[in-house]
Structure 1
Amino acid sequence: MVALLGVGLITAPSASAAPPPAPTIAQGNNWDVRPVADGYQLTLRLGAPAPMRSALPLLAVDGEPIGVARQSPDQRTLTLVTTDPGVLKAKDVQLVWSGDVGNDGKKAQARGKAAAGPNDAYWLKPRLGALLKDDPAKPGKFKVETSEYNLGDEAVFLPGLGQKSEVVGKVYTPVGATGKRPFVLFLHGRHSYCYGDASEPQDKPWPCAKGEKPVPSYRGYDGAAHALASSGYQVVSISSNAVNAYDGDAYDAGAQARAELILDHLKLWKKWSTTGGEPFGTKYVGKIDLQNVGLMGHSRGGEGVARAAVVNSDRGGEFGIRAVLPLAPVDFARSTVPGVAMSVILPTCDGDVSDLQGQKFYDDTRYSVTGDAATRSTVTVLGANHNFFNTEWTPGQSEAPSGDDWGGDEKDSPCGAKYAGRLKAKEQQAVGTAYLSGFFRLHLGNEKQFLPLFDGSDARAASAGRAVVRVVSQAPLATRRDVNRFDQALPKGALTGKASAATCSGVKLQPTRAATPPCVSTDGSGDSPHWDSAWFAARTPTMAATRLSWRDKTGVLRLNLPAAQRDVRKFAALSFRAAPDPAGAPKTDLSVRVVDGKGRAVSVPVSKVSDALTRLPGLKENGLPKNLLRTVRIPLSSLKGIDLKDVRAVELRTDKVAKGTVYLSDLAFSSPGVGVSAPAVKLVKVSASDVKVKEGDKGTQTVDFYVRLNRVSTRPVKVYAETSGDLGATVGDVVRTVVFKPGQVKQKISLPVKSNTRDSYDLKFNLVLSVPQDALLDKSFGHGEVIDDDPTPTLTLGNLTTTEQAGDARFPLKLSAPSDRYVGIRGVLKDGTAVLKQDYLSEYDEWDPGSRTVEGYVEPGQTTGVATVKIVDDKVKEPAETFSAVISEADGGEIKLPVTLTATITDND
């Protein structure tokens, strides 16, 4: 075992004692800052283990998150390295989580506050849709055979991780099924990867140490896997413990690595289903259809399967990935998933990915590609948490230790473990099984009887029991006619009466580069999944919507239909998304009025067909209720008395309540449809370059990134680009909307770099591409590095002369010029006529009695520093005595080593 000491020098500790701690340059009760080769290492130590969550662990200095922290294997220590010297002035350091930033909910939970939100009672007995005749969770006609394969803990190298991963999977096979079967792959998320007591510590987190076992997270989806396999689908659930072990250091939190792991497994199954091979021989030859593939990813696995679908398209569509289901997913980088059927499951009591950021997969993808023929949906499950979809993450069912990710008092409304609206673990798993099985059977098997589960009509599966589910759906383009997306200013004259409307995007506490005002001003983030920012694309505009406000019952928002769009007879419903203002009344209402060419009209109160304008359950102290746009769906068959071949206008009227504010999006006529789903191989691909540049000595220069298309596009292509990471005071920040006109294939993004003549750290950062329009993200992270080119200042060390009563004595350190780096030395103390303990002590003696370590430093911007030792004041009259310090290691200063320094102690008796 090794320890990181002093200025980043790695030294083995003595066999007799633990190594002394490094000198701290800032500290609090449970945190400290110390120098390392790349900057300043901030370390926070916790009294109890933090959970290993899919949300990003962040360290906040004086309330401001400064970066993603790496968790120790026991989850008690968190560290990050920054070049920002501001950490030296820190007063407080806390662990916060992406999605929880600014949210006081965890404090409310810790207090055991049990008050209910104003609408909680309604959601205990809400309106429910019709039951399906066929239940997707019901066992099918095939018996299911299970087996596992294990090719080793380090069987494949993942370039996106820079590490080797296990190749392990559990296989669910329909016995007796003939012909090629649709293939479904499950990928779990970020969870503890090893458990047990290590008998032999090791210097890397994976594979598990001796005495530990891998957490079998991949075995946790048996219910959905058996339901699918018994209906004739080939299912495999794979392990990604190595990615979980190392993704704290990955530039994208492991999304690319998870995608590569998925594609590596698919390549194995291509071999096993064509030529065969160990461990299956020829068992699966001719039995699997890898042109009909579905992917489910839970948690960080959700971003992994989304990325896998895109990478597969980028590489020519080797596999027919046609359906992607992110389950309680993260979306740190705002990717889109065009061309592929997608449904995102969002559990409202998610205590891990608490901001429900997976909502953005739907929002960002729905109009991202012209002519996209796929269908997509979100499935919001009330009362469900993050973990219990996986039995291996569920107490009482798991092999390894596990827990409920939603904290607080068990009777808390609406998510406490014993609150009436909270789903029990088996109830939640039944919901997961129903929707996972139904989704893949619909899109891979064309079993259209399950379409009502995903088309926004809120049909129910009997096996889902009492679960309250709300679905938002974008019908495929072939069965949809958009009236108004509500993402731009309304047509002139559309609004009359005492009402106002404005396009909005984002939340007030998280400013982006959107040209529109924020939609909501919240007490904290995490309650507005459409509009909360993403971690790696924090300033990229979020979905735009229309905010409609009124002061009396005279307001009318009228949208006139052009002549070519007035015949709506082929459609089944008029629908839009809506949500109430979180600062307004708990319930509000509007009327939807449809008018034909003869002036005949039918008016339908929103409250009659939907509870979209009833706020979801919960109190803001718990990061609830979530501000989610939900479906208002009016069957056209209910509009009796008007001519559906000559519909002239759709009106939204404020005639139900005298005052209110609502959010609106995506007004369309549509009919349910499965759509056409396939890898989007015909789209152009957009990538960011990598770049290195020397800092320079005078003025300001530029570092030039290039954003490129792989070929000319016949349509305009748009992508957002922004810098992310530790830019220090050297590199200028940038946020840009990059637009490629037809014929253009390259755009330059220049960042200013401030030159100087002081030795400093190299700066590493990223240019992140997100939310592309009419393109696929290929290389979405461009890696930048500014190389410091200034000479290292010369370090000179001096002897010391002191007296017995001095207490602390200091060897002087001097630099030939100031440096932006922390300059340090390390060595050992050796007796002369002065003897350790009798005449002097190491600075670290209180931590390591008998230590002979000596360390010293010069702070950034200074030219002088010291290495301290302690002098023992005795009462014996004696001549002057000496000891020495042999300096063998240094960092940040030019010096020829070793150097022997002499200390002289003058007697004072």
Structure 2
Amino acid sequence: MRVLGTITLGMAAVLAIGPVTASATPPPSPVVEGNSWDVQQVPAGYRVTLRLDAPVQMRAARPLLAVNGKPVGVARQSADGRTLTLVTTDKVAAHAHDVQLTWPGDQRMSVRALAGGPTDAYWLNARKGPLLKDDPGKPGKYQVETSEYNLGDEAVLLPGLGQKSEVVGKVYAPVGAAGKRPLVVFLHGRHESCYGDESAPSDKPWPCPKGTKSVPSYRGYDGPAKALASSGYQVVSISANAVNAFDFDAYDGGAQARAELVLDHLTRWRQWSTIGGGPFGSKYIGKIDLQNVGLMGHSRGGEGVARAAVVNADRGGQFGIRAVLPLAPVDFARSTVPGVAMSVLLPYCDGDVSDLQGQKFYDDTRNSITGDGAARSTVTVLGANHNFFNTEWTPGQSVAPSFDDWGGEGSKAPCDAKYAGRLKAKEQQAVGTAYVAGFFRLQLGHEKQFLPLFDGSDARTASAGKAVVRVVAQAPLASRRDVTAFDKALPKGALSGKVTAVVCAGETGKSACLTTTGAGDAPHWDPAAFASHAPTLAVTKLSWTDKTGVLRLTLPTVQRDVRKYAALSFRAAPDPTSTPKADLTVRVVDGRGRAASVPVSTVSDALVRMPGNQTAGLPKNLLRTVRIPLSSLKGVDLRDVRAIELRTDRVAKGSAYLSDLSFSSPGIGVSAPTVKAPKVTVSDVTTKEGDKGTTYADFVVRLSRPTTRPVVVYAETSLPFAEVMPVGDVAKAVVFKPGQVRQTVRVPIKANTRDSYDVKFDLALAAPREALLAKSFGHGVVLDDDPSPKFTVGKLVTTEGKGEVTFPVKLSAPSDKHIGFGGLWKDGAAVLGRDYRGQYDPPEHTLTGGIEVAKLEGELTVTVTDDKVKEPTETFTAFLDTVDGIDGLQLPIAATGTILDND
């Protein structure tokens, strides 16, 4: 390592970079450098670059760069996956002694003190619910016929990606099933696109280069596909390798492109199932019901299918997408999926999407639109990792290289491969089959026998084996009465005794629920990639110091008759700094003062801390279900329930999070594309940078129609990875009052008079209330309006034997660009290797040089040798045929070097 100096700037955020491209000219001189990395000064801060021997591993999570062990931001990868770059203002970069690739789940740091030690032993023998008689994981009555279609590697141009994708799918059909059948589409996630000879030359990552094969990720879901098909459902699993190959450069991580790919397949199936043609002729005519469609998406495919459901609704609901199952999904953009039945499957030992960010699909959607009649749930599977739900991502089962994404902790911790609670690959696949098949049979086929798997009662199936599964559910509106979401301050007088209650949200600020350093242990509150400032789930944090505390909620007259409901439920989790096994008593009181008390610990382990002891983002802090059957409230008049109390009489000291108290009964609900909901769109903006002060990029946010309810959506700048950053950081709520349909979000642009690059950035919309996200990313361009400075290369006159000397290379004014140039040395009387030498050894005629950012002078160096021979003056010439960063320059440029004899 060599340290060349320290430069600090005053900007405060990690900034983004543009696409990493190769250049024939050298980069700026590094501030610090190592064997495979360097840190360079740029106007926006520091550019950190890491070069890898092999392409970066293809994962759902976005790669991070860590400097001296500290993650400083998300990195942008080059097209070949071997170079990672970001721009940061973090001053640790100027003092780097180590730069490494890391991932969100790799940060195995201590984040907070845990009280009482781990609860691993409990979870090895955790409570299990009743066993269902019918098992959706077992084969049904139909034989299954499989076939594949392949319309080519570049059969469709995908909006949101700007690249062509393959149209490839595997079909699972029930043999002999009469009439139209529901269709379920599976979409895999972000994995390697190709495998084989990685040294094969290629100018782009897709189609697969010569010597390599396409990874058949779409074939990895045979278990749930065959379980569904054998029960009478049509299933298609589609390939998305082109999206994986190009989404490193997608503004949204590829969500829109994946959604478009799903809808393209559905469009083709509309033809194949009505008029026929294509790869199947008339085989599927009248066999598929495209008004009863389910979508399963794994990993980044999870966000893709969620987006597909919303885009479908925005386009008028041309397909009847009625059920969406994101499996171990990312949720980079905090989208909602209202109106459509949804179950989010969360693997507790996910080593890729380690913060279980898919939890936010449930949190954000559950109350996002008034009158939403769909059911939704989360299914947390302990001992399951990210990859093994797909056999093509599982070692020993895949045809291409694959791996265990958890990676191991070197001990028998809760997610280590040797831990007794960790599921083997086939055990995990069996759980996935049961819940994926069960969900779609419930929602598309209305097979109500599977309701207990998704209503929060923790029923289980034999095929799921030893798996410990915890389900949180929001019953459909028609069979639910909400008492409180616990997201606002309690009514005056609701507390008595030594107990306090505060509303909290997020991980930072005075109202944070808990403070974390980003280890992924707070799925409800970790910030999202493109909406890091959007408010996260608000809950009530209840804390007590003795057994006298009471939280009492009084029911209004219209809510007192609860006879039509089956259970009282809420979500809860223990504070990790409190006792590992908290407890409360739920007391229900009627109009005559008669009461029934139920300790939480007798019906739920929601207040038992989840397994793990503060390594690799464990334990997760997840709200879980407390469900009390109303039939157990003996002696209470359910026609006249006056109050619900939470009492601290079980444990003398503790703290817990509370959310979503309601009465409910299990139900399938009403699910359909929410075509009647208003749609929110954001415009694109192109603006000039300006010369003085601050200018603005005005994004117009529109509502498709006026409403009687306020509409709220959060807008946040998604900054590019630019080395010059004139774009201000904006994060705000955009509120449409009843009747309003247009709002403006102003993004400040810092003007200057220095020549710079044009800068691209986005304004992302997230977490809407009372509306759907239609066009959720506004694309901004800041056009640099300053002329390029004049570039000159002067003559060099020197004496032999002077050693290294420099041609005068100058700019007429500083530039925010690195000015790199290249060309050739041309001999005159002076001969390369005898009288002078360039930058390369052995001597080459190639020359390179540059002027660093914000500097007026650059370097074009040459070494003049010495001899003992008296000779006349000799000359040679520097010919510059490429100059990057200067517009309109006439090339080539020639500069003469003169060597005077000293003998």
Residue 151 of structure 1 pairs with residue 170 of structure 2 = no
Which whole-Å CA distance do the structure 2 matches of 1:193 and 1:604 have between them?
53
What residue in structure 2 maps to residue 111 of structure 1?
none
Contact 2:26 2:848 in 1 (8 A): no
- One-letter amino acid of the structure 2 residue matched with residue 68 of structure 1: A
Residue 65 (structure 1) aligned to one of 62, 68, 72: 72
User: CA RMSD for the aligned pairs?
Assistant: 2.3
Deviates more, 1:573-582 or 1:694-703: 694-703
Task: State whether residues 720 and 769 of structure 1, in contact with CA within 8 Å, keep that contact through their aligned partners in structure 2.
Answer: yes
Other-structure match for 2:737? 741
Name the SS for the 2:268 alignment partner. helix
Which residue of the partner structure matches residue 526 of structure 1? 520
Question: Structure 1 pair 486/8, CA: closer, same or farther in 2 (3 Å)?
Answer: closer
What residue in structure 2 maps to residue 3 of structure 1? Answer: none
> Which residue in the other structure is 1:866 paired with?
859
Moved more, 789-798 or 891-900: 891-900
Paired amino acid for 2:58 = M
The size of the alignment, in residue pairs, is 875
Equivalences for residues 1-20 of structure 1 within 5 A: none
Encode CA deviations 1:13-69: one digit per residue, 9 max, x unaligned.
Answer: xxxxxxx96564344212135799999864312366642110011334563534432
Specify the code of the residue in structure 2 equivalent to 1:792. S
In 2, the alpha carbon distance for the partners of 1:39 and 1:868 equals 27
1:717 paired to 2:717: no
Partner residue of 2:17?
none
Secondary structure of the residue that 1:865 maps to in structure 2? Answer: coil
State the secondary structure of the residue aligned to 2:808.
Answer: strand
* Partner-residue secondary structure (3-state), 2:153: coil
Pair 1:8–1:657, CA change in 2 (3 A):
closer
2:85 maps to amino acid: L
**Superposed displacement of residue 199, structure 1:** 6.7
Equivalent residue letter for 1:43: T
Which residue of 559, 579, 588 corresponds with 1:565?
A: 559
8 A Cα contact 1:35 1:822, kept in partner: no
Q: 1:757 to 1:461 in 2, by over 3 A?
A: same
Instruction: Say if 1:810 and 1:868, in contact at 8 Å, map to a contact too.
Output: yes
Q: Distance in 1 between matches of 2:106 and 2:745?
A: 30
Counterpart of 2:292, as a letter, is N
Cα separation, 1, equivalents of 2:295 and 2:232: 16
Go from structure 1 to structure 2 and tell me whether the alpha carbon gap of 1:275 and 1:410 turns closer, same or farther (over 3 Å shift).
farther
2:796 maps to 800
* Other structure's SS at 1:784 match: strand
After TM superposition, the structure 1 = structure 2 runs for residues 128-147 of structure 1, keeping only pairs within 5 Å, are 128-147=128-147
SS, match of residue 227 in structure 1: helix
Q: CA deviation at 1:743?
A: 1.1
- CA shift for structure 1 position 830: 1.5
> What amino acid does structure 1 have at the position aligned with 2:72?
P
Does residue 207 of structure 1 match 2:207? yes
Offset from partner CA, 1:742-794 (integer Å, 9 cap, x none): 21110011122222221112221111100101111001001111111111111
Following superposition, the deviation at residue 201 of structure 1 comes to 0.5
Matches within 5 A, 1:726-805: 726=720, 729-805=725-801
Give the counterpart letter for 1:860 in structure 2: V
Cα distance in 1, alignment partners of residues 515 and 65 from structure 2: 24
Could you tell me how far 1:414 is from its partner in structure 2?
0.7
Establish whether residue 168 from structure 1 lines up as the match of residue 174 from structure 2. Answer: no
Q: Which segments of 5 or more consecutive residues in structure 2 lack a partner in the other structure?
A: 1-19
TM-score, normalising length from structure 1? 0.93
- Over 3 Å counting, the alpha-carbon distance change for 1:683 and 1:456 in structure 2 is same
1:28 paired residue among 21, 33, 55: 33
Equivalent AA in structure 1 for residue 861 of structure 2 = T
Task: Indicate if the aligned counterparts of 1:25 and 1:88 stay in contact, CA closer than 8 A.
Answer: no
AA of the residue aligned to 1:664:
L
Written as runs of structure 1 = structure 2, the 5 A alignment for 1:38-437 is 42-46=48-52, 50-60=56-66, 63=70, 65-70=72-77, 73=80, 75=81, 77-80=82-85, 82=87, 89=94, 91=96, 94-95=99-100, 99-100=104-105, 103-104=108-109, 118-198=118-198, 200-409=200-409, 411-437=411-437
Aligned residue in 2 for 1:831: 827
The answer as to whether partners of 1:8 and 1:37 remain within 8 angstroms in 2 is no
Q: Is the 8 A contact 1:529 1:628 kept in 2?
A: yes
* Aligned equivalents of 1:519, 1:277: Cα separation in 2: 57
* Post-superposition CA distance 1:581-615 (Å, at most 9, x none): 11122111111111111111111111111111111
Contact 1:199 1:210 in 2 (8 A): no
Indicate how the Cα distance of structure 1 residues 405 and 877 shifts in structure 2: closer, same or farther if over 3 A, else same. farther
Cα distance between partner residues in 2 of 1:273 and 1:100: 44
Separation (CA, whole Å) in 1 of partners of 2:41 and 2:166:
35
Q: Which amino acid aligns with 2:559?
A: Q
CA distance in 2 between partners of 1:823 and 1:132 (Å): 70
Cα separation, 1, equivalents of 2:683 and 2:102: 30
CA contact (8 A) 2:219 2:392 kept: yes
1:16 match:
none
For the Cα contact (< 8 Å) 1:142–1:229, is it kept in 2? yes
Distance in 2 (alpha carbons) for counterparts of 1:828 and 1:42: 30
Deviation at 1:88, TM superposition (A): 8.3
The alpha-carbon deviation at position 71 of structure 1 amounts to: 5.2
The equivalent residue for 2:7 is: none
Cα offset, 1:460, TM superposition:
0.2
Distance verdict in 2 for CA 1:566–1:217, change over 3 Å: same
Q: Does the Cα contact within 8 Å between 2:62 and 2:74 map onto a contact in 1? A: no
SS of the residue corresponding to residue 210 of structure 1 reads coil
Q: 1:575 maps to which residue?
A: 569
* Alignment counterpart, residue 552 of structure 1, candidates 514, 522, 546: 546
What per-residue deviation string (whole Å, max 9, x for no partner) do you get for residues 351-405 of structure 1? 0000000000000000000000000000000000000000000000000000100
- Unmatched runs of 5 consecutive residues or more in structure 1: 1-6, 12-19, 107-115
**CA distance in structure 2 between the aligned counterparts of 1:524 and 1:27, rounded to whole angstroms:** 27
AA aligned opposite 1:898: P
For residues 864 and 27 of structure 2, the distance between their equivalents in structure 1, rounded to whole angstroms, comes to 20
Q: Which amino acid aligns with 2:168?
A: V
> Per the alignment, in what secondary structure is the counterpart of residue 387 of structure 1?
coil
- CA 1:26–1:669 in structure 2 vs 1: closer, same or farther (change >3 Å)? same
Question: In the alignment, is the contact (CA less than 8 A) between 2:106 and 2:616 conserved in 1?
Answer: no
The offset of 1:642, in angstroms, is: 1.0
C-alpha deviation, 1:80, in angstroms: 3.2
CA distance in 1, matches of 2:901, 2:611: 76
Task: After TM superposition, give the deviation of residue 190 of structure 1 in Å.
Answer: 0.2
Once the two structures are TM-superposed, the CA of residue 842 in structure 1 deviates from its matched residue by 2.5
Structure 1 residues 873 and 560: alpha-carbon distance in aligned structure 2, compared to 1, 3 A threshold: farther
- Aligned twin of 2:14: none
Instruction: Say whether the 8 Å CA contact 1:57–1:95 is kept in structure 2.
Output: no
Work out the CA distance in 1 between the residues paired with 2:299 and 2:168. Answer: 19
Give the conservation status (yes or no) of the 8 Å contact 1:819–1:862: yes
Structure 1: how far apart are the matches of 2:131 and 2:643?
Answer: 33
Greater Cα shift, 835-844 or 215-224: 835-844
Q: Distance in 2 between matches of 1:529 and 1:433?
A: 24
| Alpha-carbon separation, structure 1, partners of 2:413 and 2:86 | 39
Question: Could you tell me how far 1:410 is from its partner in structure 2?
Answer: 5.8
Residue 660 of structure 1, CA deviation = 0.7
Q: SS of 1:703's equivalent?
A: strand
SS at match of 2:451: helix
Q: Deviations over 1:200-219 (max 9, x none)?
A: 41110000001000000000
Structure 1 residue corresponding to 2:608, chosen from 602, 614, 620: 614
Deviation (angstroms), 1:117:
5.9
* 1:668 and 2:662 aligned: yes
Greater alpha carbon shift after TM alignment, 744-753 vs 849-858: 849-858
Deviation larger for 25-34 or 418-427: 25-34
Distance of 1:733 and 1:57 partners within structure 2: 22
Structure 2 CA distance for aligned equivalents of residues 878 and 813 of structure 1: 29
SS at match of 1:226: helix
Letter in structure 1 aligned against 2:809: L
Q: TM-score, normalised by structure 2?
A: 0.93
Q: Are the counterparts in 2 of residues 38 and 761 from structure 1 also a CA contact under 8 Å?
A: no
Q: What secondary structure, in the 3-state scheme, does the structure 2 residue paired with 1:228 have?
A: helix
Query: Could you say what secondary structure the match of 2:615 adopts?
Result: helix
Kept in 1, the 8 Å contact 2:519–2:616? The answer is no
Deviates more, 1:643-652 or 1:690-699: 690-699
